[in-house]
Each structure stands twice: as C-alpha cells, then as structure tokens.
C-alpha cells in the first residue's frame, strides 16, 4: 500500500530552475506550498546511484531529511539507442559545470555521425521521500528520435533536439502545455499522482 502525501508543503529537491518551474506547473493542483532545495539553502547531494530511480531516491531523501518536510526529486535524462543508452544518468554531467546543453547536444550529434539509428528515449524517475526516509517512486518515459540542428527555445536541456514519436515539433518548439501532455515527466507525474496524491 503506497503512502499518501497529506501535507500542504513540499520541497522540490532540485536547483535546476527549468525543472522547478515544470514541476510547479505539474503539481500546483495538488500542493499549495512548493519550495525548492535551492530556496532552503540545501546542498545538492552527489548522485552516486547507477539508475535514474536510485538517484531520484537519493536526492529526495537528502532534501526530506535536510528540511524535515516531504521532498520530491526527479532524475531524468536522455538515453540514446546508438550510444548504448548514453548519456543516460549522466545527461546533466555531459553539459559540464556551466550546464552548457548546446555543447552537450553537439557532443551527441558528433558521436552519432554516420549512425543510421537516431532513436532515443527520455526517462524520468520521480521519488517522493518523507523525513523518516520512506520513498514512493515511479518512472516514466517517452520514445522519439533526435534531430539536427536543434529547434526551439522552449523547454530546457536536450529538448530542442528531441522529437517524440508521432509529432513534428521538437520539445523545444512545443508550448509547455503541449509538452506536459506527452513528456516523460508528465508520464511519471501521472503515475505519481495516482499513487500518492489521488
């Protein structure tokens, strides 16, 4: 039996402004008071997990214990088929300390040179942790392919080079509402809402 979220205040265990905005939009109907780990001055823990789920749980627990409040963490990334699933859990690290995703997208494009398979999957693990260490975790994903050059200024990260199956626009070109309807994060949020907020 899943533990239900019963409070009114939730910490988003992230310092990524784009991710925080997106999570606020997705969870606003269920939680009245949302703050980020950055707002509370909580440090970002080292991501030592080997899966999206392990890293989401690690980050959620660190913020829940550090704040004394329930905390939600997301660990997400781009898994490129022809690159053996890379950058995967290292998606943010490929952008370097400056979070230069233009550079990270160029790196992927360079590695894909001459490869016919441009399929990729965006993966998102969401973990809600309580200060006692209990976690409820789900994983969502969306399949698509990579385009070059990147298109669009909406979204963040690798969004401008990812087109989900059956669509013509990249995630970077989509309006937020359209992306929220189909993204890996939206898939994970649907599962999480059904599990702990419904």
The pair of three-digit structure tokens given for residue 188, joined into one six-digit string: 């994970």
CA-based R_g, the chain, Å = 16
Contact criterion met (CB below 8 Å) for 22 and 180: yes
Contacts of 196 (CB under 8 A, 6+ apart): 2, 3, 4, 5, 128, 136
C-alpha triplet 154, 159, 162: angle, nearest 5°: 130
Active-site annotation, residues: 75
């Amino acid at each position: 039996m899943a533990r239900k979220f019963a409070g009114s205040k939730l910490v988003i265990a992230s310092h990524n402004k784009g991710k925080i905005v997106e999570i606020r939009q997705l969870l606003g109907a269920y939680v009245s008071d949302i703050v980020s780990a950055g707002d509370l001055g909580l440090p970002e823990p080292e991501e030592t997990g080997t899966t999206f789920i392990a890293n989401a749980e690690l980050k959620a627990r660190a913020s829940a214990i550090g704040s004394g409040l329930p905390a939600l963490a997301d660990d997400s990334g781009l898994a490129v088929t022809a690159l053996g699933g890379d950058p995967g859990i290292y998606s943010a690290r490929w952008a370097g300390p400056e979070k230069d995703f233009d550079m990270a997208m160029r790196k992927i494009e360079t590695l894909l040179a001459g490869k016919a398979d441009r399929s990729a999957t965006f993966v998102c693990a969401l973990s809600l942790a309580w200060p006692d260490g209990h976690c409820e975790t789900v994983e969502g994903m969306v399949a698509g392919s990579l385009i070059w050059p990147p298109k669009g200024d909406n979204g963040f990260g690798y969004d401008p080079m990812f087109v989900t199956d059956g669509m013509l626009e990249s995630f970077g070109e989509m309006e937020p509402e359209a992306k929220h309807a189909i993204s890996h994060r939206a898939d994970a949020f649907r599962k999480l809402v059904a599990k702990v907020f419904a």
